[in-house]
Copies of this chain bind each other. A is one copy, B any other.
Amino acid sequence: MSTPMNKRPIGVFDSGLGGLTVLKALMARLPHEDTIYFGDSGRAPYGSKSADTVTKFSLQNARFLLEQQVKMIIIACNTASSRAYDAVSAMAGLPVIEVIGPGARTAALVTRNRRIGVIGTRGTVESQVYPAAIRRCLEGPAEIYQQACPLFVSLAEEGWWDLPVTSDIARIYLEPLLARGIDTLVLGCTHYPLLSNVITATAGPDVRLVNAGGPIASIVAQTLEQMGLKNDSHLPGQHVYYTSDSVEQFTLLGSAFLDEPVEQACRIDIERY
């Protein structure tokens, strides 16, 4: 007998480790849900790669999760959400949640002066999905300024979260946005929450940072509820992890991103999917 739909795990994928910041918000909001996380560390990062490479990788990742009998797929990567949401959604046949919409909606809610900055990878910025999504949520005129910050992912993964040089790089990337008088800044990459101290300090007290982790978890909770897919268990959820590269590296760095130990990680050959 197959597992009832609501008891199945939620599938989450990302190019590597960044999506663990989304998983963390999800575990806090939905403590009884089981999850399966796949981090494509063997082919990371996605941010500098072309739309069709990212789409191909995302479809493989989603096929792997479907094989694991998930009830929902969360694309916990802004680049993959911006490039491959339609393709994954068309293929999956079950709810697919992306990470752009929740951040865009939050930015539209919190801005006072309608000047919004968006930082992300080159792929996310080029795709223009954030400006389009924010404009859909904000009636009337709005100014949206984007900046690609390719070095932020390396800084996050190097663990240089609080070095002076990280502040210098943040200043180089953020100054053009700050000069426009933004009052809201969307962290449009799931790696960036790790640098939020430096980004907050650089942006100053008048700029509100939008980390979409919480809003994404709310959308997931709402979707599960509406579709009758919520797990009614009272036990703590089980969390398993898969990676396309070394389990040791994933476990070590992943625990820093998740802020708790990553256990039960396995390696898979994603190119088979």
Give me the interface of A with B, judged by CB distance under 8 Å.
41-43, 48-50, 52-53, 150-151, 153-155, 157-158, 160, 163-165, 168-169, 172, 244-246, 248-249, 271
User: What residues on B are CB-neighbors of A153 within 8 Å?
Assistant: 154
Q: Which residues of B contact A48 (CB under 8 A)?
A: 157, 249
Nearest-CB residue, chain B, relative to A50: B246
Residues of B within 8 A of A157 (CB): 48, 150
- Cross-chain contact A245 with B42 (CB below 8 angstroms): no
Contact of A165 among B49, B169, B244, B245 (CB under 8 A): B169
Task: Tell me, rounded to whole Å, the shortest Cβ–Cβ distance linking A189 to chain B.
Answer: 14
Name the contact of A154 in the complex, choosing from B50, B154, B165 (C-beta under 8 A): B154
* Alpha-carbon gap, A160 to B149, bound state (A): 12
Q: How far is the CA of A259 from the CA of B184 in the complex (A)?
A: 41
Residue in chain B with minimal CB distance to A171? B165
A158 (CB) vs chain B CBs: closest residue: B150
Not counting A48-B249, A49-B245, A49-B246, a sample of 15 additional A-B residue pairs whose C-beta atoms are within 8 angstroms of each other reads A41-B49, A42-B43, A50-B245, A50-B248, A50-B249, A52-B246, A53-B244, A150-B154, A150-B157, A150-B158, A151-B151, A151-B160, A153-B154, A165-B168, A165-B169
Q: Contacting A168 at CB < 8 Å: which of B168, B248, B249?
A: B168
Of B43, B155, B163, B165, which is within 8 A of A43 by CB?
B43
Which residues from chain B contact A151 at a C-beta distance below 8 Å? 151, 154-155, 158, 160
What's the Cα separation between A196 and B219 when bound, in Å? 49
Question: A271 — which chain B residues lie within 8 A by C-beta?
Answer: 271
Contacts of A165 in B (CB 8 A): 165, 168-169, 172
Closest CB in chain B relative to A240 CB, distance in Å: 20
Selected A-B contacts with CB under 8 Å, 20 pairs: A41-B49, A42-B49, A42-B53, A48-B157, A49-B245, A49-B246, A50-B245, A53-B244, A53-B245, A150-B154, A151-B151, A151-B154, A151-B155, A151-B158, A154-B154, A164-B168, A165-B165, A165-B169, A168-B168, A271-B271
Complex CA gap A157/B154 in Å reads: 12
